[in-house]
Chains A and B, each alone.
Chain A
Amino acid sequence: MLAKRIIPCLDVHAGRVVKGTRFLALRDAGDPVECALAYNDGGADELVFLDITASSDERRILLDVVERTAAACFMPLTVGGGVRTPDDVRALLNAGADKVSLNTAALANPSLIDECACAFGCQCIVVAIDAKRRTPTAAAENAADPGWEVFTHGGRRPAGRDALAWAQEVAERGAGEILLTSMDADGTKAGYDLPLTAKVAGSVKIPVIASGGAGELKHLADVLTQGRADAVLAASIFHFGEHTIASVKNFLQAQGIPVRRTVGVAAAA
């Protein structure tokens, strides 16, 4: 049975993990490769590196990080952040990323999705969508259900697109997966945006990874059931040592949610 995936996300800046990873008890908690190995051993299903680097010099560093991670970790790795062209995608895939996530560049030029899906296969193209609930206006058409607006630049800039329509468009253009972040829920630790996630997941035939708002284990279970998500992305819930991958999976399994267990593999490394 296809397992619901638990995906830790590491923010990487200039080759260093910038959010806390205290619980991992690593020699160097800022080293993405060490963090990746710890999550690999801990039973994470995939990893996401989100590059929050600006300069092109630092891009080289990211490629090096991806190379070193892929050489040490035999698990799926998605890399996103600042990906603008098919050449950027190619460089990351060649460095060892399995999937590359597009966001702002795809909004500016949606045919980038078609182009990349065609060149590299849809299974390796993820489109990240940052959505924010619209404020209801007096206008009759959205008073009851204002919907969600797509945002860029960390939620500061509206993209002028409806999140649901954009999700359907990226799926049609050949994206293999959607990484859906609720800007309203992100950082609140009050739970994922269930209506948003359920609407998007229910309106596309590609997998949806839910992101933003995880604060307790029940939130993860809720978004995987009521929210109909295929996977959950979580950062701080793991980084700050509140939970481990194993404790999350134990909890979800007890709720009847299919998760991958790594126990029972006979061969040791």
Chain B
Amino acid sequence: MTPPRLALLDYDAGNLRSVSRALEVAGAQVEIVTSWDQVDAAPPAALVLPGQGHFRDCQEKLVARGLWPLCLDWLSRGRPFLGICVGYQLLFESSEEAPGTPGMGFYAGTVKKFKARRDVKVPHMGWDTLRFTQPVAPLWRGLPAEPSVYYAHSYYPAPADPALAAAVTDYGGVSFAAALADGPVAAVQFHPEKSQEVGLTILRNFVASLPPAAVQDV
């Protein structure tokens, strides 16, 4: 059986090597994609949207490369999607990091900034625990309760519908939506590609939820 083929969107927003390599270890074939045409020419089993840096910068680069409407089209057709870090935040309507810059608005809600105070350092940097709010979500298969994952962020999505959160992490006085699982859409604020075995397990679970390549290539 051929491993599912994933399209990893390359829009010059951080290094893709770690994500790409981790997805391969998780059992996927990874194609680095820079245009909508590439996706149409050989439709992948899933789209993966990574993202590092500034919300506005990521938004502008996706728009400039024509990948923004691709994401919206893909999501609206209910196709499998994985968003990581800013790639998760962009699914919402806006961000406190970039007032005036629209997100995709695929989900109602905004992206907020942690309030730094004594002993609440921002960025939220390091290993923190997930509390599963959807314990049966396929993403969490095989994981122990409250596993640790690696974070490096100052902003977090606040979905208007809190039930979207598949797991939360408590930091700075909030329980933020660490991950979202909504049918074919999965998105995480932490870095699975940097979260050692826990992260690889989550990626394996995502890949395992996809149809093998042989099926779509027919």
Contacts and interface: CB of A to CB of B under 8 A. Distances in A.
Contacts of B153: 123
A175 to B, nearest CB: 10
A3 B194 contact: no
B21 interface: yes
A2 B124 contact: yes
Interface in A166-191: 176-177
B193 A176 contact: no
B148 interface: yes
A5 B14 contact: no
Nearest to A175: B123
Contacts of B199: 74
B144 A265 contact: yes
Contacts, number: 124
Interface string B12-28: 00110110011001000
A93 B15 CA distance: 6
Contact of B123 (A177, A228, A268): A177
Contacts of B127: 2-3, 5, 45, 260
Contacts of B116: 205
B144 A176 contact: no
A266 B196 contact: no
Contacts of B142: 266-267
Contact of A40 (B21, B119, B191, B196): B196
Interface string A244-268: 0000000000000000111011111
Interface stretch (A21-29, A114-122, A136-144, A156-164): A114-122
Nearest to B52: A121
Contacts of B125: 123, 176-177, 207, 230
A122 B152 CA distance: 9
A2 B119 CA distance: 11
Interface residues of B, number: 46
Contacts of A67: 17
Given A123-B153, A206-B121, A207-B121, A266 B126 contact: no
A230 B196 contact: no
A1 B129 contact: yes
B150 interface: yes
A45 B14 CA distance: 21
A265 B147 contact: yes
B94 to A, nearest CB: 18
A65 interface: no
A224 to B, nearest CB: 12
A207 B150 contact: no
Contacts of B15: 93-97
A124 B152 contact: yes
B53 interface: yes
Nearest to B14: A93
6 closest cross-chain pairs (CB), A and B: A205-B116, A121-B53, A264-B144, A123-B152, A260-B127, A266-B142
Interface of A: 1-3, 5, 40, 45-46, 67, 70-71, 74-76, 93-99, 118-124, 176-177, 202, 205-207, 228, 230-231, 260-262, 264-269
Given A207-B123, A266-B144, 9 more contacts: A2-B171, A70-B21, A71-B17, A74-B25, A76-B150, A98-B152, A206-B122, A207-B125, A230-B126
5 contacts: A45-B126, A76-B150, A99-B152, A177-B123, A265-B143
